[in-house]
Amino acid sequence: MKFLPRKSIALVKSVPRESAFPKMAEKVKIVTTVVICMKVLDIVERRMESLSRRRIIEVNEKEEEEIEGGFTETVYSL
């Protein structure tokens, strides 16, 4: 539980665990955990997408430079 944000821990702790509705409390705790995990995964996925886009852009720029350089070299060699 230490790696979760404070708000989510407070939300889980606020659920009555040993109350008149133990099954409901357990379900709420599970749903809360799943929602937190999904949010974390979403953040990670977005970060990975942005990194992959940057890499693709960098690769495309490098290829264009090489192609342009190649054309100028062939023109001079003729």
46-68 pLDDT, tens digit per residue, is 888 887 777 666 665 655 555 55
Q: At what angle do helices 22-77 and 6-14 cross, to 10 degrees?
A: 160
Measured at the alpha carbon of residue 37, what is the angle toward residues 9 and 15, in degrees to the nearest 5? Answer: 35
**Percent of the chain at pLDDT exceeding 90:** 0
pTM of the model: 0.35
Count the helices and strands in the chain (H runs, E runs).
2, 0
Local structure of residue 44 (DSSP, 8 states):
H
Considering the chain, what is the average pLDDT of its residues? 64
Confidence of residue 40 (pLDDT cuts 50, 70, 90): confident
Give the chain's length.
78
